[in-house]
A and B are shown apart, each in its own frame.
Chain A
């Protein structure tokens, strides 16, 4: 079960998002066993784990794409369990879905504006577009290009920029470094840190533990639907149990 580390160096003062006692099923298969976790306001929290550990499903629970059998999802002091996805998005949860999932036939500009779909304040949207393009200058050159024609790394930038356009309090990222070249992986991680410095809380699901822990404040390790390890990122970076969790070592099973 949960193995909390002894000395919490950067314990979050206040949780923006919390999952409490989540149990999820896909048909007869149980995906989550009494899963609980917290994401502190202003932090980067990452959820690590191997294949089929239930990481992506956790993401879908938060976004309301999958409904848990039991348990509570709280966001900004409000219970959002069971709300339809658009309602959750409206409350300030942005997402960078797994494998980017851009609208391939639409232009980059249209993709970014789709990110602001829930907003109606045209002038502020235009300002945010400029702001986001300041953060991702490369996209400014590509605005009229069809999103499907961009390279993987550029698409990842569009996906992150698109998520920012809704002015989210929290951005959920599902494997943002997946399928990218090493150069782009570093670039994307830098950008996530930059987004976080602007005050956006980040919850990211990753397989690439060592890289993710470089920018995260706090991390959880998920194994077959259970949190087996959690703690501040700098502690986990050197923790041998991280390796055990991935390789299915005895301690964690």
Chain B
């Protein structure tokens, strides 16, 4: 019994921490219809600000909290100023992508400043525990609960009884009408970002103290948890976000009690998918409530694509094929091979996100499925490597489509969140399904690439293999875009209701496109596995998903040539200039930010 008491207390405490995150996300979504993916970065910055204050200056707890609140609020203002305000009037997905870029930049800056190694965040409160009945409760638990409840109370007072609070509520309900009542909606936005970020930063500090552990990679998980809690409670709904957080905390805590720590996130994301599919407005939305305005996920900046004649493309492909004969430098060849493999990923995402308009934020999962499929088929079943890669593509297509199918009814941001969660679920299943995937140990001794019994053991042969696969799949995709099917897919992207009223079965076509796209990604993952000879659940991580999206936007959404060019530029160039790995993610973040702001149609234009 006592352990259940402890698990409940633990769940509620974690729930409080999530609530501090989720409430901020809900406020921001309310006034600006934006899911702020930089929220986790604010949380990390808050944790490190607290760490710096405590370890360097020995600040007492109240002062530390004040410092963290101030740092968080200032950071929130900066995010609003640079990430959101310049993008007013852009497509809804634009600020979302901008916040992803900002989060990459912030996380990487934290990592460069404080090193990726975890730090301890000491707190004198950690040791104190009180006996309650048969269970115990810590002083820190009480502090966290007090801060959670206190913030909720202050927020309630602010929203109900202050002028600015009224302005926030009015803006959330109707931005234009609020403006016509004389509300300065920019000021409302700034206020909300400052409040939300201050709460998020405090959340980071409290988590750091609770676990006596902080590291820069907490950011992404924090964003995800906040988003999950928010969606569960109903996007943009402040009380719902608090309830959703408590529910999430309890589900996780009981889940750990029953199954073990490595399942924690699995429960969170499964809860998210279930809520998204069954009750997209959240568990606590009243039935009467109209759904939030539909947000189309398309990020298609209208543009005239750069015309490249088939002859030129052929010449470029030929030049690429002849390159190893002219320049047999193994470093260049390996780099370009890598770029071709990312090019395959780009082809996949440019079809799904660009042509069909389903902005997938979990694309790396397809690589992982392909990689594991090919590795295990060749290792455990002794299948020849060429065939296993082909099958890996098929398995990725089948499994990927199956997983995402229930989410096809979602639109805009919701679909993106679902894909993000599915990506995380895939990676967690790989981690936990020991008997099949060898769990955290990973798969080693994957046989090298070979084709029809000939081993591809030179850099040159691997280069040609990757290039060959890329050219074939790119040619097929060109063909597809020109076909009736390609036109149908674009029609769905541009206006799904109109497309449906012309008799297009949306789900089927989405599934078809997703399967075709997933095949390319699966093949890419399969080849990669054999090149690396070792993979584990972190080989294809969520950063790759965002890199894929950046590649696709850089090239121009839906643009086949653009996807390949994007991957050569983003994967090849940093390698050629030998940019240190930790700066690369920083560069990706900055490139993404600049693209969204200044060239949303990409280099070669959207198709």
Contacts and interface: CB of A to CB of B under 8 A. Distances in A.
Interface of A: 63, 65, 84-86, 89-90, 95, 97, 101-106, 110, 113-115, 117-118, 149, 162, 166
Contact of B176 (A65, A102, A113, A162): A65
Contacts of B177: 97, 101-103
A84 B176 CA distance: 12
A25 to B, nearest CB: 14
A89 B173 contact: no
Contacts of A97: 176-177, 180
B180 A95 contact: yes
B170 interface: yes
Interface centre among B170, B177, B181 (most CB of A within 10 A): B181
Interface stretch (B161-169, B430-438, B557-565): B161-169
B176 A117 contact: no
Nearest to A84: B184
Interface in B143-195: 163, 166-167, 169-170, 173-174, 176-184
A90 B182 contact: yes
B173 A117 contact: no
Given A65-B176, A101-B177, A106 B170 contact: yes
Contacts of A106: 169-170, 173
Contacts of A104: 173-174
A63 B182 contact: no
Contact of A65 (B173, B179, B182, B184): B179
Given A86-B179, A90-B182, A166-B182, A117 B174 contact: no
A166 B7 CA distance: 54
B181 A162 contact: yes
Contacts of B182: 85-86, 89-90, 117-118, 166
Contact of A85 (B163, B167, B169, B179): B179
Contacts of B169: 103, 105-106
A79 to B, nearest CB: 19
Contacts of A85: 179-180, 182
A103 B163 contact: no
A116 to B, nearest CB: 8
B183 A117 contact: yes
A184 B179 CA distance: 27
B378 to A, nearest CB: 55
Contact of B173 (A84, A105, A166): A105
Given A103-B170, A105-B173, A117 B181 contact: yes
Nearest to A166: B182
3 interchain residue pairs of minimum CB distance? A89-B182, A118-B182, A101-B177
Nearest to B179: A85
B170 A89 contact: no
Given A84-B184, A86-B184, A114 B179 contact: no
Given A101-B174, A104-B173, A106-B173, A89 B181 contact: yes
A103 B180 contact: no
A85 B175 CA distance: 12
A97 B177 CA distance: 7
Contacts of A101: 174, 176-177, 180
A117 B179 contact: no
A115 B182 CA distance: 8
Contact of B170 (A86, A114, A166): A114
A103 B170 CA distance: 6
Contacts of B178: 103, 114
A100 to B, nearest CB: 9
Contacts of A103: 169-170, 173-174, 177-178
B180 A63 contact: yes
Interface in B99-123: none
A115 B183 CA distance: 10
B183 A86 contact: yes
Contacts of B173: 103-106
Nearest to A165: B181
8 contacts: A85-B179, A86-B183, A103-B177, A105-B169, A114-B170, A117-B166, A117-B181, A162-B181
Contacts of B167: 117
Interface centre among B163, B167, B174, B182 (most CB of A within 10 A): B182
Nearest to B163: A117
Nearest to A27: B302
Nearest to A120: B163
A193 B174 CA distance: 28
B163 to A, nearest CB: 7
Nearest to A105: B173
Contact of B180 (A89, A105, A149): A89
A66 to B, nearest CB: 11
A103 B166 CA distance: 11
A110 B166 contact: yes
Contacts of B184: 84, 86
Contacts of B174: 101-104
Given A86-B182, A106-B169, 14 more contacts: A65-B179, A85-B180, A86-B179, A86-B184, A97-B177, A101-B176, A103-B177, A104-B174, A105-B169, A106-B170, A114-B170, A115-B181, A117-B167, A162-B181
A105 B237 CA distance: 12
B97 to A, nearest CB: 22
A85 B163 CA distance: 18
B353 to A, nearest CB: 25
Contacts of A63: 180
A114 B176 CA distance: 13
Interface centre among A84, A103, A104, A149 (most CB of B within 10 A): A103
A98 to B, nearest CB: 10
A220 to B, nearest CB: 22
Interface string B12-36: 0000000000000000000000000
A162 B184 CA distance: 17
B244 to A, nearest CB: 18
Contacts of A110: 166
Contacts of B288: 149
A115 B166 CA distance: 11
A79 B176 CA distance: 22
Contacts of B170: 103, 106, 114, 117
B190 to A, nearest CB: 14
Nearest to A90: B182
Contacts of A86: 179, 182-184
